[in-house]
Amino acid sequence: MVALWSRLYLMIWLAFAQFLLVLSPLKIVELHAVIGGIILVLAHYNNRQLKTTATPSRIKRIVKSTAMLATVQPILGILLFLNLWSIVALLFSEFISLAHLTTALAIMAQSASTATAFDMWEEKEFVVSPA
């Protein structure tokens, strides 16, 4: 089984790959959707696995909010896809696109934060001081 720390770092690279894919001239929507689905599943799996550890609560809250953001992404993505193919006419498609992009950036940032903090906690690189 793949270690939790490596799955946490994998989230960062998958989110980064999404940005590269969107910026590429290919615009492969299907691949974007598949990678997004992997991120969604991984975010929830990481959240569930991290809950079972003695990790500090802050790290658990960050990974939980990342999973929540990952749940919103497919909804925004589907709306954009339907708008792209003129199946649904969105009044505020630019706003939805911006929300999709901003949420993706938040997922990448929070994934980096979680992976680094968990790695440091696991390696005992920081100690939680008594309040």
How do residues 1-20 score in pLDDT, each as one tens digit?
689 999 999 999 999 999 99
Rounded distance between C-alpha atoms, residue 113 and residue 96, angstroms: 25
In this structure, what DSSP letter does residue 92 have?
T
- 79-108 burial by CB neighbour count: b if 16+ within 10 A, else e? bbeebeeeeeeeeeeeebbebbeebbebbb
Look-up: residue for tokens 């939790």? 4
Type of residue numbered 89: A
DSSP helix/strand/coil, 93: helix
What is the rounded distance in angstroms from the CA atom of residue 64 to the CA atom of residue 24? 30
Q: How confident is the model at residue 45 (pLDDT cuts 50, 70, 90)?
A: very high
pTM: 0.88
Q: Are 35 and 11 in contact (CB under 8 A)?
A: no
| pLDDT for residue 5 | 92
CA distance 59 to 34: 27
In this prediction, residue 86 carries a pLDDT of: 77
pLDDT digits (tens, 9 = 90+) for 49-62: 999 999 999 999 99
